[in-house]
Structure 1
């Protein structure tokens, strides 16, 4: 006797799927990124995870790039903005905010590289921008310089995180490259390259976080001292 074919299950007996929401889509996308990596967070893969069709997602998210921006926006909620209203030197507090932003990206290596082109516009990103602008204003940076400084400061932080994530994904190769560079600098011809020879391995010295802090101070001080018109042909 052949086994009986199971009777088809009525749709009414199946548990109802939760209704799609923007928040639910982003929450699932973040979870997928953390378990499978950002490269796996596509509209098709996300639709599969949510047991729906990709077309249903386009009602909420226009494309994969927008989805990645939404993931970044969600994670920006972890940036520590308390320094914006704390006491103390405004430069130090601004560096602390930027440092927190950078390390949020350090924790998500694949997202750091995507963040170079992703453009979040949600409340977490706007809160970060407001905190930076408030600290620049407190430091007496003219508004027109502060307006452009936000882009530069976040770009350097994002690029640093992206570089760090790329190196971390190929630790052995990165270590070899640094070793080769250090050796090349140490053995440089002082006649052909006198300044390189004089500075020596100090060119590659310093821990990543130490160098990043210095970068931020350079940018902040430069913002304070450089009018926007300084780079124009009419200056």
Structure 2
């Protein structure tokens, strides 16, 4: 016979830790590592913290802001190499940023529309601006260039993340390969001639080359002078 157990009163239960933005972010990171970013919702987080979703909105405005905060936390691991020229150090830092997003596919897509604004993101911007300044890039070009460089790196990671999560990725790639190699010389002469080159290179080679193109463009393309503020 099972002995009767009296329910514990609330006074006897351990007190829940007080909510804080840092605590919420820590719990969100744990959920992401265990279940993936799509599971990091305000409802799931409230369940993990044994509270109501409404309590979380005091600290985090919405899920998009929460995901941006997670990315900011991950950016705390980034650091530019101490050795090498400014070109090499800049490329290495952007490659490391892209690699972080490669490791978290859903976060890569989220980063396209929800940029972080925390201390680690600001630190990344400061480092990028410092490296561009070391390369003699004028201030306005550097300021605009940071946006271009991060957009390219983020979009590259998001594209590869989407490919990696698609079940039909291999079939889609095979279809593209057949289409390019099957291009008619009469109607698409350049495509037919360069079909192999269009498909050549490893993802790492293409990322490295693309970053160098972007960096060279920032260095050699003057930004238009304007008194208008940012539109978004």
Q: Same fold (TM over 0.5)?
A: yes
Question: TM-score when scaled to structure 2?
Answer: 0.92
Q: In structure 1, how many angstroms separate the alpha carbons of the residues matched to 2:52 and 2:175? A: 50
Aligned length: 226
Change (3 A) 1:230 1:60: closer
> 1:110 deviation in Å?
1.1
> 1:195 deviation in Å?
0.9
Q: 1:88 aligns with which of 78, 84, 87?
A: 84
Deviation per CA, 1:117-147: give whole Å up to 9, x if none. Answer: 1121111101111111111111111110110
Q: 1:173 aligns with which of 143, 168, 172?
A: 168
Q: In structure 1, how many angstroms separate the alpha carbons of the residues matched to 2:170 and 2:157? A: 17
Q: 1:105 aligns with which of 95, 101, 117?
A: 101
The answer to whether the Cα contact below 8 Å between 2:80 and 2:89 also exists between their aligned partners in 1 is no
> 1:200 deviation in Å?
1.8
> 1:91 deviation in Å?
0.9
Does residue 210 of structure 1 match 2:205? yes
| Pairs within 5 Å for 1:38-77 | 38-77=37-76
Deviation per CA, 1:72-110: give whole Å up to 9, x if none. Answer: 11111122x132xx2322111100000000001111111
Question: TM-score when scaled to structure 1?
Answer: 0.91
Higher helix share: 1
> What's 1:188 paired with?
183
> What's 1:158 paired with?
154
Which segments of 5 or more consecutive residues in structure 1 lack a partner in the other structure?
none
Could you list the runs of 4 or more consecutive aligned residues of structure 1 that deviate by over 3 angstroms after TM superposition?
A: 2-6
> What's 1:134 paired with?
130
